[in-house]
Structure 1
Amino acid sequence: MTGIWKADWVEPRSAALLVVDVQQGFVNRHSRGVLPAIVQLIESWRAAGAPVVLTRFHNKQGSPYETITGWTRLRSPEEQALATELAPFAADATAIIDKDQASVFTPEGAQLIRAAGWTDLVLCGIDTDACVYDSARDAYHYGYRPWIVTDACASTGGAQYHDAALLMAARNISPNHLVTSESVLSRITGPKGASA
């Protein structure tokens, strides 16, 4: 299902790495395994001098997540905190977007992306079937090119939800926009580890 990273893909400096909601409250037995891939992406992206944006989800009291779904997690500071593995990157991030919705396209997020002039958004994080997918879909509808790094995303609900989200993304965005960490890293570092 994973597409091919196109040779004419823009320079990393024209794109942002969006690390979506990798927070303590979203790290569980289904999602923990993607943390090393996410850390490697962030380290390589930063080494290339390209922008890294971290997002954090906050489930406000009275939100639709509570009133419709009955979901009341991600309220405490402990659950909202970045995963321990990502905490060292917070100080040097291009931006940290706090949001109370799934998509990164809050007014603040949309303004940041527009003002920066990024054309491509490379997405990784948790949950593939919620915040990652919704951000990718919105990016597509706003005219940005979203790239979902399939092995650097996970669903707290398990593999079936992760796979379902990728199937939907392949249909509604493009199978060519589903990429692997290996393809992203090869694009960032270039041949034999040289900077792109």
Structure 2
Amino acid sequence: MVVDVQNGFIRPPSAPVVPVIERLASRWKSEGGEIVFTRYLNYPGSPFERMIHWEKLRDSPETDIVPELVALANESIVLDKTIYSLFSEEGTQLVRDRGWKDIYICGIATESCVLKTAVDAFEQDLTPWVIAEASASHAGQDVHDAGMLVIRRFIGRGQIISVADVPLEPMIPAP
């Protein structure tokens, strides 16, 4: 899962993960793995607007997948969402239909969309793996670190892995 690597979330603290994700996703795809790119779309009157007073990521180019990942996204599944997590009704059904049990998660922002996707996977009895150096927060390192702390507490220290720990061959369930 490549979570919300969109133009509107790229800032100096989050930009360095883009090439890491590009290399990882390219390798995963070349080994026959499926990739899901999530794209957060805000809307007028959303909880993000009403309660957080955040009105960004409503339109292109903010909502677009970053240019470095567009080609991979075009060959993959792109799931639009209006919530933090991949696990909307559509995302939950996608994971169920594919029979995925292990979910490898990277992207932006560690403390929100990455965290929520990992916790939701955990609560659906899946095995989430958060890829540390392929995740970041556009709000800075301290916020990323806080997200990683909460992830460790919520789903277990061992569920945070490095790019080197991602299997060379994706775990594809038998038909």
Q: Secondary structure at the match of 2:87?
A: coil
Partner of 1:50: 33
Q: Secondary structure at the match of 2:91?
A: helix
Partner of 1:192: none
Partner of 2:75: 92
In 2, the alpha carbon distance for the partners of 1:92 and 1:59 equals 24
Alignment of 1:175-190 (within 5 A): 175-184=157-166, 187-188=167-168
Partner of 2:6: 23
* AA at the equivalent of 1:67: R
Partner of 2:124: 142
In 2, the alpha carbon distance for the partners of 1:26 and 1:107 equals 24
* AA at the equivalent of 1:166: M
Identity of aligned residues (%): 37
TM-score, normalised relative to structure 2: 0.95
Q: Secondary structure at the match of 2:16?
A: helix
Q: Secondary structure at the match of 2:67?
A: coil
Q: Secondary structure at the match of 1:90?
A: helix
* RMSD between aligned residues: 1.1
**CA deviation profile, 1:36-65 (whole Å, cap 9, x unmatched):** 110011011011101111010001110010
Alignment of 1:48-127 (within 5 A): 48-93=31-76, 95-127=77-109
* AA at the equivalent of 1:161: V
- Unaligned 5+ segments in structure 1 are 1-17, 190-196
Partner of 1:168: 150
- Unaligned 5+ segments in structure 2 are 170-175
TM-score, normalised relative to structure 1: 0.85
